[in-house]
């Protein structure tokens, strides 16, 4: 079991302890509230039909109060012990849970036997208190343990049937109908308890499976968000969730965008740091949205700009065409924000280049990052720097322009330019 699985199991175990704490609370409340109900039922039965003599009624009430109070105290004490385990970050041993199920089955049996000894065995083993077994069985669902639910159902059935058979064997009076002291009703009710345990077990197992799936999905989503941000296109988001944000290294055709804020250094020197950060937040928020809307992802923030990738990790349409459209929309959005007074007068420079690049997640197990490596990235950065030389806001390489065509965009071919790190001059096109 690796560290991730161990952490997942710890989360589930803590959730089970929380559920067991809730279960004990529910039992204590149900039993405490049920005692007055039982008393009222017995009282009405005595008044209407004379079912019990006065002394029998009194003994029955005493038995109910003693048994019910004991169950409430047991539930509250167990709840307190579980709260202590949670505070210490400890687990409840699985064997203790099974032992607790046996104890609860025995306790309910003693409660039923108390009715049998005070009133009549036939009444006790056919009366509503016997359905307390089912309450305990169904509440094991909160433990998310199939085996425990089935075990509780079997333990309840055995305790009920054995106690009933023993008590009926002592009965000297044959009731009418005589089937009331037959083992058949006991066995049928015992089978119902077992079936209840099996059904509870299936529900518990399904809930556990869904809980594990939900936690794993959330963790995968969080890892993906750490690498790609919270705003990605639907197709990219779907791919991220399928992969868990773990993309193996592969060579892909991509279009790289580099964006730079013009004169940012002098601007940042004139105003307080908080205002600089606020300016970047206001500026980048709609620009990132534009990139995502066109199927790209912002791969890195570079202080006064960012690097975006189109065509990876998921290709949507024509990456070059989408990148050009995004660049034009970004320039228009910046002008709109300046006109609206949201930001001070600002210009950006954008460079685009397309080609093959190595893409994938790299880093340690605890911290991975999606990266794009290759000459395509380097040339895109150089082209962005050329925007200052040509007084342009958007420059694209000939590779981008060729792959984007045909496109209803006007482009001006500039003279081939020497670029640092490349032997041959580069052909670029001015879009804006």
What region does 281 belong to: left with phi over 0, alpha with psi -120 to 50, or beta? alpha
CA 31, 37, 42: angle at the middle one, nearest 5? 120
**Minimal CA–CA distance to 16: which of 109, 100, 77?**
100
DSSP assignment, residue 409?
-
What's the pLDDT at 394? 95
Contacts of 377 (CB under 8 A, 6+ apart): 256, 307, 357
Tell me if residue 67 falls in helix, strand or coil: helix
Contacts of 128 (CB under 8 A, 6+ apart): none
What's the pLDDT at 221? 66
The full set of domain ranges for the chain reads: 3-223, 234-430
Q: How far is CA 11 from CA 7, 130, 221, 228, 255, in A?
A: 6, 36, 17, 26, 42
What's the pLDDT at 157? 92
What's the pLDDT at 337? 95
pLDDT in tens, 136-192: 898 888 888 899 999 999 999 999 999 888 888 876 665 555 555 567 778 888 888
Residue for token digits 């709609």? 286
What's the pLDDT at 4? 65
pLDDT in tens, 318-328: 999 999 999 99
Q: Name the CA dihedral angle for 122, 182, 171, 119, rounded to a multiple of 10 degrees.
A: 0
Q: What is the DSSP string of 292-360?
A: HHTTEEEEEE-SSEEEEEESSSS--S-HHHHHHHHHHHHHHHHHHHHHTTSSSS--EEEEEEEEEEEEE
What's the pLDDT at 287? 94
Cβ-count burial of 14 within 10 angstroms (0-12 exposed, 13-18 middle, 19+ buried)?
Answer: middle
Q: What is the pLDDT along the chain (432 residues), one digit of tens a residue?
A: 556 667 777 777 887 888 788 878 887 887 788 777 766 666 665 554 455 555 666 666 777 777 778 778 888 888 888 888 888 888 888 888 898 888 888 888 887 887 777 667 777 787 777 888 888 898 888 888 899 999 999 999 999 999 888 888 876 665 555 555 567 778 888 888 999 899 999 998 888 888 777 777 777 666 665 655 555 555 666 666 665 555 667 888 999 999 999 988 888 888 898 999 999 999 999 999 999 889 898 888 888 899 999 988 877 789 999 999 999 999 999 999 999 999 999 999 999 999 999 887 776 666 667 788 889 999 999 999 999 999 999 999 999 999 998 888 888 888 888 888 788 888 999 986
Domain at 234-430: CATH architecture: 2-Layer Sandwich (3.30)
Find residue 38's DSSP bridge partners: none
Q: Are 305 and 258 in contact (CB under 8 A)?
A: yes
What's the pLDDT at 361? 73
Residue for token digits 């720097």? 385
Residue for token digits 């990738």? 309
Question: Which secondary structure element, helix H or strand E, spans residue 302, and what is its range?
Answer: none
- Cα–Cα dist 365/352, whole Å: 32
DSSP assignment, residue 150?
H
């Amino acid at each position: 079991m690796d560290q991730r699985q161990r952490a997942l199991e710890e989360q589930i175990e803590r959730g089970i302890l929380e559920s067991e704490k809730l279960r004990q609370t529910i039992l204590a409340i149900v039993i405490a509230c049920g005692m007055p109900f039982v008393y009222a039922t017995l009282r009405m039965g005595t008044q209407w039909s004379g079912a019990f003599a006065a002394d029998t009624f009194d003994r029955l009430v005493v038995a109910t109060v003693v048994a019910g109070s004991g169950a409430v105290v047991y539930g509250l004490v167990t709840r307190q012990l579980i709260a202590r385990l949670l505070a210490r970050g400890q687990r409840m041993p699985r064997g203790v849970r099974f032992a607790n199920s046996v104890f609860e089955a025995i306790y309910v049996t003693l409660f039923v036997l108390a009715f049998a000894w005070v009133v009549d065995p036939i009444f006790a083993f056919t009366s509503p208190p016997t359905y307390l077994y089912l309450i305990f069985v169904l509440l094991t669902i909160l433990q998310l343990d199939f085996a425990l639910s089935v075990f509780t159902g079997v333990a309840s059935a055995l305790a009920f049937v054995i106690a009933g058979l023993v008590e009926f064997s002592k009965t000297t009076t044959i009731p009418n109908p005589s089937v009331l002291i037959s083992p058949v009703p006991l066995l049928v009710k015992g089978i119902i308890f077992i079936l209840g345990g099996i059904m509870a077990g299936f529900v518990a197992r399904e809930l556990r499976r869904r809980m594990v799936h939900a936690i794993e999905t959330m963790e995968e989503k969080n890892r993906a968000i750490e690498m790609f941000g919270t705003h990605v296109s639907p197709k990219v988001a779907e791919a991220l969730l399928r992969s868990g944000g773990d993309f193996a290294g592969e060579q892909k055709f991509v279009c790289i965008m580099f964006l730079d804020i013009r004169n940012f250094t002098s601007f940042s020197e004139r105003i307080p740091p908080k205002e600089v950060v606020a300016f970047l937040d206001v500026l980048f928020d709609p620009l990132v949205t534009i990139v995502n809307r066109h199927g790209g992802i912002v791969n890195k923030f570079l202080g006064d700009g960012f690097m975006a990738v189109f065509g990876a990790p998921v290709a949507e349409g024509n990456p070059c065409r989408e990148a050009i459209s995004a660049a034009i929309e970004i320039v228009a959005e910046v002008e709109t924000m300046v006109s609206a007074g949201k930001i001070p007068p600002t210009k950006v420079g954008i460079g685009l280049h397309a080609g093959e690049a190595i893409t994938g997640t790299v880093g340690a197990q605890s911290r991975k990052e999606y990266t794009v490596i290759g000459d395509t990235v380097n040339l895109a950065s150089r082209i962005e720097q050329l925007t200052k030389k040509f007084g342009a806001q958007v420059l694209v390489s000939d590779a981008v322009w060729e792959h984007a065509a045909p496109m209803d965009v006007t482009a001006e071919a500039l003279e081939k330019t020497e670029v640092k790190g490349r032997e041959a001059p580069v052909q670029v096109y001015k879009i804006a």
